């Protein structure tokens, strides 16, 4: 019973996650067994469902032993392509799916009929509104302010047209946006960027279908110099990842903290071992109030505290894909207070 409830809750969360916050009016499910009473569809037969893409469908709760048929009253807007019953790879449970293709922007009424023990009746009616794709922010970076380098643009497609390709054009050199396959809660097709120069940019987003291109919108970006953390930081946690405390992070570099003259460790399975056995001083992580955990280069560390305390650490950076200790650059000294 608990598993079933969790599955149902997950399904409802998915439904509302894939429906964008917008001015589209919710149309009442006037009759029946449809799971949602909001019929918003994108153009095409495939829809993004969080970190998956699947057949675009309006879902309902089928009756065991029944068969179903569905019809659209405007096939120039919404075309019904079939019905599937059984296990749903998007919702991870059994559902009924009226498979649809969004043909053009507009509205159509979907009618679902059920045949059970020789009797046929209408069990669901749903108005479906097909909308054009849009682009919106998925993080709190709604002012589109970034540092240099390759990174996510914090943008996502809303109601992405599965038949379309997307492109971006900046008003000047120094910023490039591009699509990239992605498998996360913001959709299957991500929007990444590469900034090489500081400044203000206006980027036009375009959608192309069957050789015809539509401008979606203009988006203004601000590429700014990196702002390092203040000289003193308090974290209400037992660890600090210094990149989280840098504004307009330059993604060309990796940043870390190092406690001077202290042994550095690295993960090895479920335990910690010295980063460099040649300089190992016989201490363990528990011997320190705060210890540094390195990635591939010593001094580019995250700090972990064994108890609430304050420590002085040196901040360094290195070109992000370098493993050469000679490339490490000192930036400043920071006092870190752990409270937990």
- Strand-strand pairing, 264-268 and 290-294: parallel
DSSP 37-49: S-EEEESBSEEEE
* All structural domains of the chain with their residue ranges: 2-131, 134-223, 232-338
Identify the helix (H) or strand (E) that includes residue 183.
strand 175-184
Question: In the CATH hierarchy, which fold is given to the domain comprising 2-131?
Answer: Immunoglobulin-like (2.60.40)
Q: What's the pLDDT score for residue 145? A: 97
Q: What's the pLDDT score for residue 1? A: 42
Phi, psi at 244, each rounded to 5°: -70, -15
What residues of the chain score a pLDDT lower than 50? Answer: 1-29
Identical fold for domains 2-131 and 134-223, yes or no, is yes
Q: What's the pLDDT score for residue 24? A: 28
Q: What's the pLDDT score for residue 31? A: 56
Q: What's the pLDDT score for residue 26? A: 33
Rounded Cα distance, 313 and 300, in Å: 11
Rounded Cα distance, 44 and 19, in Å: 16
Counting residues of the chain whose pLDDT is more than 90, the rounded percentage is 81
The DSSP 8-state label assigned to residue 123 in this structure reads E
Question: In the CATH hierarchy, which fold is given to the domain comprising 134-223?
Answer: Immunoglobulin-like (2.60.40)
The 10 Å CB-count burial string (b at 16+, else e) for 32-53 is: bbbbbebbbbbbbbbbbbbeeb
The DSSP 8-state label assigned to residue 75 in this structure reads T
């Amino acid at each position: 019973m608990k598993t079933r409830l969790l599955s149902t809750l997950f399904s409802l969360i998915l439904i509302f996650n894939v429906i964008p916050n917008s001015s589209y009016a919710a149309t009442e499910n006037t009759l029946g067994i449809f799971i949602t009473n909001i019929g918003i569809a994108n153009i095409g037969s495939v829809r993004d469902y969080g970190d998956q893409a699947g057949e675009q469908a309006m879902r309902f709760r089928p009756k065991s032993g029944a068969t179903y048929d569905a019809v659209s009253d405007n096939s120039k807007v919404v075309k019904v392509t079939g019905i599937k019953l059984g296990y749903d790879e998007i919702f991870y449970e059994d559902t009924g799916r009226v498979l649809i293709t969004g043909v053009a922007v507009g509205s159509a009424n979907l009618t679902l009929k059920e045949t059970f023990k020789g009797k046929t009746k209408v069990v669901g009616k749903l108005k479906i509104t097909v909308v054009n794709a849009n682009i919106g922010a998925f993080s709190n970076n709604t002012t589109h302010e970034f540092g240099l380098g390759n990174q996510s643009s914090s943008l996502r497609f809303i109601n992405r047209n599965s038949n379309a390709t997307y492109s971006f054009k900046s008003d000047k050199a120094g910023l490039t946006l591009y699509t990239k396959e992605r498998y996360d809660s913001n959709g299957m097709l991500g929007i990444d960027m590469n900034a090489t120069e500081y400044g203000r940019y206006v980027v036009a987003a375009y959608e192309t279908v069957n050789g015809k291109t539509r401008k979606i919108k203009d988006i203004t970006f601000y590429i700014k110099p990196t702002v390092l953390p203040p000289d003193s930081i308090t974290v209400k946690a037992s660890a600090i990842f210094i990149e989280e405390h840098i504004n307009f992070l330059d993604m060309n570099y990796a940043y870390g903290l190092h406690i001077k003259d202290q042994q550095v460790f690295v993960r090895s399975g479920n335990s910690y071992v010295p980063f460099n056995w040649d300089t190992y001083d016989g201490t363990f992580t528990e011997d320190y109030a705060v210890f540094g955990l390195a990635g591939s280069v010593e001094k580019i560390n995250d700090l972990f505290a064994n108890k609430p305390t304050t420590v002085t650490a040196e901040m360094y950076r290195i070109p992000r894909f370098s493993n050469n200790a000679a490339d490490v650059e000192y930036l400043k000294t920071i006092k870190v207070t752990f409270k937990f």
